[in-house]
Amino acid sequence: MLLAVDVGNTNIVPGVFASDGRLVADWRWATDNARMADEYAALLGWALADAAIARSAISGVVLSSVVPPLTNTFRELARRYLGVEPLVVGAGVRTDVPLCVEAPEEVGADRIANALAVKRLYRVPAIVVDFGTATNFDVVSAAGEFLGGAFAPGIQTGLEGLASRAARLRTIELRAPGQAIGKNTVGCMQAGLVYGYVALVEGLVARIAAELGGPRPLVVATGGLAPLIAAETPAIDVLAPDLTLQGLRLVYELNQEGGGQETGIRGRELGARGQGRGAEQAAVDGASGAQAGGAR
């Protein structure tokens, strides 16, 4: 089985894939730079046990990290506790996604994984909107190239900024209030944050689509707060909460097979596009037995 780990600034999302590509379990943890490999290994051990997955069933690890200290932490975890050398997505790793940007080395591994996933599992051209610490807009051309995108503060980041810098504002529940005209402090904050970000998404998607020209790009939303915004706008076509994990799986498989193209090099698309959506999450029955053969 394959363990895919997406380390972000706010959350760490690990997921386990069966050998047939099914995502059989995934979790969301708060990012803590101070935690040691031993502590994350204990957390992973509890999670695997709860999902009835034996640690010995993990035969491969793929890692995406935008937090450098935790990159080494999870490297150590994979080596010491799982006995495998992790594939860390970055420069030199085969991705089948040409990076048509000025500084390819600056492109985050999660953005590359998202681009590969939307290219293989959905269709291109596409815009991936990833709702995390920042709200990322990642643009993939009709040829499967990563063209760049846009960054905006994340919704939770915006809320924390308001609550910390405005004396009479506080942290609130992030939900759609049902009307844009708030009648109290909480309603005003919810309207500004939720509907403000809806307008942000609609506006940037429209501008990006106009710059791309050609057929309308598919808009795919992912990230922890994606369901909140996707429910409020027709601009989002697909809600794919496990898009980054699926992309990491595809990067891992691509490198096991020896195909693809190195990160950061412009060029034509090398791999055939997969058809249809990725596998649905399913329960693992007897994961420590028959499926211990591992992921490709």
What does 1-31 look like in DSSP terms, one character per residue? -EEEEEE-SSEEEEEEE-TTS-EEEE--EE-
Instruction: Determine the average pLDDT of the residues in 103-110.
Output: 91
- In degrees, to the nearest 5, what angle opens at C-alpha 296 toward C-alphas 91 and 115? 45
- 110 catalytic, yes or no? yes
CATH topology of domain 123-239: Nucleotidyltransferase; domain 5 (3.30.420)
| pLDDT at residue number 294 | 37
Average pLDDT, the chain: 86
Indicate the DSSP class of residue 291: G
Percent of the chain with pLDDT over 70: 86
Residue 29 pLDDT > 70: yes
Q: What are the tens digits of pLDDT across the range 49-81?
A: 999 999 999 999 999 999 999 999 999 999 999
Q: Has residue 283 got a pLDDT over 70?
A: no
185 against 164, higher pLDDT: 185
Q: What is the mean pLDDT of residues 138-161?
A: 92
Per CATH, the architecture of 2-90+279-293 is what? 2-Layer Sandwich (3.30)
User: CB count, 10 Å around CB of 41?
Assistant: 19
Q: What is the CA radius of gyration of the chain?
A: 20
Higher-pLDDT residue of 47, 164: 47
What is the reported pLDDT for 258? 52
Tell me the C-alpha to C-alpha distance, in Å, between residue 48 and each of 119, 242, 284. Answer: 30, 18, 11
The per-residue pLDDT for 274 is 32
- Whether the pLDDT of residue 282 is over 50: the answer is no
pLDDT in tens, 176-212: 999 999 999 999 999 999 999 999 999 999 999 999 9
- Rounded distance, CA 232 to CA 151, Å? 20
**Residue ranges per structural domain of the chain:** 2-90+279-293, 123-239
pLDDT confidence bin for 170, thresholds 50/70/90: confident
Which residue among 6, 26, 110, 237 is the active-site one? 110
Query: Tokens for 126?
Result: 């596409």
DSSP H/E element including 88: strand 87-88
Burial label for 67, CB within 10 Å (0-12, 13-18, 19+), is: middle
Angle between helices 243-257 and 109-121 (to 10 degrees): 90
Which of 24-28, 63-67, 162-166, 174-178 is the least confident region? Answer: 162-166
pTM: 0.81
Over residues 215-273, the pLDDT tens digits come to 999 999 999 899 999 999 999 999 999 999 999 999 999 998 654 444 433 322 223 32
pLDDT attached to residue 259:
44
